Structure 1
């Protein structure tokens, strides 16, 4: 694998997209709807008839987020992983990405595996009927993560 520090922003983003996500996106009807490269950052936005997906490179750090078509709120796979674990209980078959530790980050391979292996459930969680409840729970988990990482807000 090429060292990301020797690649440009676009090249590293393209390499990460192609290695981990493009197959999942193509297999599930996602189309590129927007892209932008500027200075030390760049991103691609993909959309299907059921989900928005963003992959971005910000100063060499690749981030991925998803959103319901019915919302402007985007969520990372670390929070989605924690939510799926809670839905299933901790003895889940999904419990292979660091358990329920909100201070740990998934790598891109773990994220793409999580996305691929739970795509039908993610589709259901972010549909028109369920996205508000899903976002409420994801926001709660996000607040828990912020408290763990930065301490509770006083």
Structure 2
């Protein structure tokens, strides 16, 4: 005989049967199956952020922000990090990075693995001046309200400051 009860109804029937002491009804309702555990979002406590190698070319400058999972369990990142350049006193220099790129998916980061988001600016004052060189990047990992300060010298030029979504590429 085929079980026609939906999962929520099977659980309700099992709970009712248990409350009434009708253990035979539990078998008819079918065993309750746990939903697969979702991979939790990475937190700043389980991530180490660092900068990858700059890739200059044709007047453009690309540099990855590296997100390394230092935890003991896999975690997930989805979307764009928030990124701002800060001076030595940790004050913002100009506006935060704007988003660039098309669609994105969820990236699972296994323990010890690294994923990246890429920063883009110009390699000097091509279409406008450069901002002062910063001493830190303030980075909010996707889905986080907590930031991480990454010590690095970074200069935004020509009004171009963009960040890509996190991808599984490591650099």
Q: TM-score, normalised by structure 2?
A: 0.22
Structure whose residues are more often strand by fraction: 2
Q: TM-score, normalised by structure 1?
A: 0.24
Higher RCO structure (Cα 8 Å, ≥6 apart): 2
